Structure 1
Amino acid sequence: MTDIKQLEAKINYIFRDEKLLLTSVTHSSYVKEHSREEKSNERLEFLGDAFFDAIIGEELFKIFPNKEEGFLSRTRAALVCEKSLAKEARELGLGEYMRLGNGEEKSGGRTRESILADAMEAVIGAVYIDGGFEEVKRVVLNLFEEAINDAKHGKYVINDYKTALQEKLQSKGITDIKYTLVKEMGPDHDKTFIVQLEVDGEPKTKGRGKSKKQAEQQAAEEMMERYINVL
């Protein structure tokens, strides 16, 4: 593992309690193989996820004063998704600082997107605990400055709502996502398909389109717009 103080320099924040930063890069697999006194980064990840969403949401609210809620929700979802977090983690070289169990180490955990994204959120959570909201806001806006600027210029648009929704739900521990064809209308050469989206067995939204895939994408987009803020 690379010297953790180098990571402080990269994120431009010096911890008063350096153990918080160390915990933020400690994967659960490491804890299982070492002392029970060690803590994984899962709780910090939970906290970081909440503050990351809030900070990005506030920034988009300022950047786009005339945009509707649906646009803001979709843009935020694109900015805070696993892919975006993992990209920033790679740029920081966060994988080099990870404390992993032997199994995760051997299976390529240092470069795995999900592990990097979770650790990035955990670092954000650690900064909040150590320095408070203004400091974590400064760190987040600095680290994600390029992504936010891309959003300003319309580069952050969601083309695959199903994947974006799946990533968001999975980050909350929700994996039961089902799309069901409930109706077909029209002649064979010009059919319209209606698909229902269920989450944890509960019907949420419907989508329609000229293909099943198009209908599924619309159902996922509707879910993103209507429910993403309460997930």
Structure 2
Amino acid sequence: MEIDRDRERLLRAFLSSPAIGRRRAGAEALGRYHQALVHRSHLRETGEIAGDNERLEFLGDRVLNLIVAEFVFRNYPGSEGELTARMEWTENRNLARAITAADIGFEDLILVGSRQEKTPGIIAGAFEAFVAALYLDVGLARTNAIIGRLMADEIRNFRTDRNYKKTLQEYLQKQDRSLPVYILEGRSGVPHQPRFTYTVSVEGEVIGRGSGRSKAEATQNAAHEALILLKGPHPG
């Protein structure tokens, strides 16, 4: 994959930064790092033939989940349910928040179409694709070390009590209102990487909409949006 000189300089500067520490990426590896940061909206707009980051995202999702699962297993003695709750850190909204908090300039490298917002899903997907490129370049052990250096504090500080569906239900009950109803609005994406969209309604009125890689994530995001509408930008 050909990369122009300015793009190559940006990528090499990022890779050689203290956060990543990869100073000698070859041409093939650099091409994968570039591809990991290309959203399909950019390709549609530019007409470039090179692929987007979705295949790399598929692999990176699995690699990242393994790394985080091992970290959680080694650092938390809780039950399977408690470990599973901590794995929610890898959901799009949480992962994107952690990437932004890391303040390493990652989002600035993502290429999207001029009318496409860099949503949490796009940021998280690009990071997963980047993890795949890193894994293919340096192997699992070094990828594990780099991700641990970047994200260990974020994983440790992650609150596992962010159950937006439960919070929404309790809030509505206190207001003497009907319980929320979640309805599947659509399913998109390829079979191995589906994306679900749900709405949440109260007394026939849609008050939230959310998407995610699972039905659980999508309904949680819908409930979160509903809470923001009802309670403000920091619903807890």
The CA deviation at 1:12 is 2.3
Determine if the alignment matches structure 1 residue 113 to structure 2 residue 93. no
Superposed, 1:65-214 pairs within 5 Å as 65=77, 67-77=78-88, 79-90=89-100, 91-104=103-116, 109-110=117-118, 112-150=119-157, 155-160=158-163, 162=165, 172-175=193-196
2:205 maps to: none
8 A contact 1:48–1:125 mirrored in 2: yes
**Which consecutive unaligned segments of at least 5 residues does structure 1 have?**
180-201, 205-212, 214-231
Determine if the alignment matches structure 1 residue 58 to structure 2 residue 67. no
Cα distance change, pair 148–157 in 1 and its aligned pair in 2 (3 A): same
Q: Aligned match of 2:44 in 32, 35, 41?
A: 32
Q: Aligned match of 1:47 in 47, 59, 66?
A: 59
Cα distance change, pair 7–46 in 1 and its aligned pair in 2 (3 A): same
| Partners of 1:55 and 1:98 in 2: CA distance | 23
The CA deviation at 1:6 is 2.4
2:145 counterpart SS class: helix
Q: Deviations over 1:32-85 (max 9, x none)?
A: 2334531111111111111111111111111123x21111001111x2121232
8 A contact 1:13–1:139 mirrored in 2: no
| Partners of 2:197 and 2:99 in 1: CA distance | 28
Q: In angstroms, what is the RMSD of aligned CA positions?
A: 3.2
Q: Deviations over 1:8-42 (max 9, x none)?
A: 12422343321111111101011123345311111
Q: Which has the higher helix share?
A: 1
TM-score, length basis structure 2? 0.61
TM-score, length basis structure 1? 0.63
| Partners of 1:158 and 1:130 in 2: CA distance | 36
Percent identity of the aligned residues? 22
Which one-letter code corresponds to 1:7 in the other structure?
Answer: F
**Which consecutive unaligned segments of at least 5 residues does structure 2 have?**
1-6, 167-183, 201-214, 217-222, 224-236
Cα distance change, pair 158–13 in 1 and its aligned pair in 2 (3 A): farther
Instruction: List structure 1 runs of 4+ shifted beyond 6 angstroms.
Output: none
Counting matched residue pairs gives 169
| Partners of 1:131 and 1:53 in 2: CA distance | 18
| Partners of 2:35 and 2:111 in 1: CA distance | 9
| Partners of 2:199 and 2:38 in 1: CA distance | 33
The CA deviation at 1:161 is 5.4
